[in-house]
């Protein structure tokens, strides 16, 4: 009876862990998911097949390690383009979001390598991708440490010092990664003034995250915020059981990921499964350690560091339930020279759901940045871009990047007007 009780607790904890592993990013227990009618074993085999066949997250660069000021090792990878880089051209540094890893930038990484064409062509630039502490291949902080967004900003500075010791940089951050960029600006405005050539903030927020309802009734959202910290601490104390239970509740987890990661129902199954793998790879105790940081996050004033004269992009999906478009609009109000782009039909993981729209906008930002610094943008790579070996690259093996959707820019969205 004791063992059966333990297994029952594991199942219950696993279900809660699957829900609250995303709840910390805004997913609530009790949300309706589509009815699942295929036999569980068939679904399991389908997930394994998608894992084996999908190329997502397979791109690797030159590994490196930075050391944070508390001794935590932070893993990063560097992609060096072929051929000459324009003199003074920036290095692009990508910061990922909560419960993800650097591999979430798969499509953007492919575009910078010239194996996923964008219009206009993406300039051939050096790029750095890193894993936030506790995520991906990076180390974890001290046991029981409460992580703050300010801490992550200091981590980013350590990565920049190690991976890009000189020259201009372009900072690209999604969700928590965008908050990390803002924390860097808050603590190191001099660095931003001297070294940061441009910034792109995707699906993120400068604060007021306690007001987000995640698509729930207001009472449900309040209850979630009140209960989640304690529940997460309880789950973190039984992490082994929770992780086993997470696997047992994969079907529930799949429905939650789709609802809160993507804006449309027709997302590529391989892309959806890739997002699941990224999220489920983050241990529940890491989820618990990071969760309190978002309620405290307030970096609106830090946006002033990215002053006019420095190209800036703020991009969001109009169906983002975790960092709603209103948060991007508020950031655009604090950074009035930034290009505000609202991608129609996109959810929180806009760079996976609509990579062409994101790639085109990043290419424009990078080209403009090179011109702003008095350099000529590299010429287009032609119809068949060259791979890292210099030979013509084959088209990406990805099962079809989604077609670019319509998007509104420069505050032309009619719904903004009273």
CA distance 203 to 205: 7
Crossing angle of helices 218-237 and 2-23, in 10° steps, is 130
Q: Is 212 within 8 Å of 323 (Cβ atoms)?
A: yes
62-67/73-79 β-pairing: antiparallel
- The answer to whether the beta carbons of residues 104 and 278 sit under 8 Å apart is yes
- CA 264 from chain centre, in angstroms, equals 18
Provide the residue-wise pLDDT of the chain in tens; the chain has 418 residues. Answer: 444 444 444 444 444 444 444 433 333 333 333 333 344 444 445 445 555 556 899 999 999 999 999 999 999 999 998 877 777 899 999 999 999 999 999 999 999 998 888 888 888 899 999 999 999 999 998 877 779 999 999 999 999 999 999 999 999 999 999 999 999 999 999 999 999 999 999 999 999 999 998 777 777 767 766 776 665 666 556 656 556 555 555 555 677 888 899 999 889 989 999 999 999 899 888 888 898 999 999 999 999 999 888 999 999 999 999 999 999 999 999 999 999 999 999 999 999 999 999 999 999 999 999 987 654 433 333 332 323 233 333 333 433 444 434 434 444 333 333 3
Q: Are 181 and 201 in contact (CB under 8 A)?
A: yes
The C-alpha angle 147, 152, 155, rounded to 5 degrees, equals 125
CA distances (Å), origin 160, targets 29, 68, 134? 38, 11, 18
Phi, psi of 67 (to 5 degrees): -120, 120
Beta-strand runs (E) in 22-115:
62-67, 73-79, 91-95
Phi, psi of 19 (to 5 degrees): -70, -50
Long-range CB contacts (< 8 A, 24+ apart) of 374-380?
A: 374/88, 375/86, 375/87, 375/88, 375/89, 376/86, 377/86, 377/123, 378/86, 378/121, 378/123, 378/124, 380/120, 380/121
Q: How many CB atoms lie within 10 A of CB 5?
A: 9
| Dihedral angle of Cα 195, 75, 289, 261, to the nearest 10 degrees | 80
- Cα 330 versus chain centre, distance: 20
> Are 302 and 188 within 8 A, CB to CB?
no
Could you tell me which residues are beta bridge partners of residue 392? 386
């Amino acid at each position: 009876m004791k063992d059966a009780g333990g297994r029952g607790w594991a199942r219950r904890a696993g279900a809660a862990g699957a829900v609250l592993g995303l709840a910390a990013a805004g997913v609530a227990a009790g949300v309706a998911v589509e009815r699942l009618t295929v036999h569980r074993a068939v679904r399991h085999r389908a997930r394994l097949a998608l894992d084996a066949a999908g190329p997502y997250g397979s791109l690797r660069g030159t590994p490196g390690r930075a050391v944070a000021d508390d001794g935590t090792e932070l893993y990063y990878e560097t992609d060096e383009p072929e051929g000459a880089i324009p003199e003074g051209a920036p290095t692009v540094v990508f910061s990922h979001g909560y419960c993800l890893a650097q591999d979430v930038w798969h499509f953007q990484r492919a575009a910078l390598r010239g194996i996923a064409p964008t219009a206009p062509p993406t300039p051939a630039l050096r790029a750095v991708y890193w894993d936030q502490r506790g995520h991906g291949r990076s180390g974890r902080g001290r046991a029981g440490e409460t992580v703050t967004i300010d801490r992550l900003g200091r981590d980013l500075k350590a990565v920049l010092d190690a991976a890009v010791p000189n020259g201009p940089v372009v900072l690209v951050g999604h969700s928590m990664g965008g908050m990390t960029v803002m924390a860097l600006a808050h603590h190191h405005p001099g660095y931003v003034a001297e070294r940061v050539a441009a910034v792109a903030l995707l699906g993120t927020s400068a604060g007021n995250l306690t007001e987000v309802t995640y698509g729930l009734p207001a009472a449900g959202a309040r209850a979630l915020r009140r209960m989640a910290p304690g529940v997460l601490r309880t789950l973190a104390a039984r992490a082994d059981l929770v992780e086993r239970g997470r696997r047992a509740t994969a079907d529930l987890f799949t429905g939650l990921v789709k609802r809160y990661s993507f804006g449309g129902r027709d997302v590529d199954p391989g892309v959806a499964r890739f997002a699941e793998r990224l999220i489920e790879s983050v241990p529940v105790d890491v989820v618990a350690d990071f969760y309190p940081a978002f309620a405290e996050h307030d970096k609106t004033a830090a946006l002033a560091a990215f002053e006019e004269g420095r190209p800036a992009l703020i991009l969001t999906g109009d169906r983002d339930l975790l960092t709603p478009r209103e948060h991007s609009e508020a950031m655009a109000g604090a950074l009035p020279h930034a290009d505000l782009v609202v991608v129609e039909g996109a959810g929180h993981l806009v760079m996976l759901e609509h990579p062409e729209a994101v790639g085109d906008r990043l290419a424009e930002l990078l080209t403009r940045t090179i011109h702003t610094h008095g350099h000529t943008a590299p010429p287009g790579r032609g119809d068949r871009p060259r791979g890292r070996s210099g030979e013509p690259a084959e088209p990406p093996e990805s099962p079809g990047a989604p077609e670019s959707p319509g998007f509104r820019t420069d505050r032309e969205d009619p719904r903004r007007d009273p």
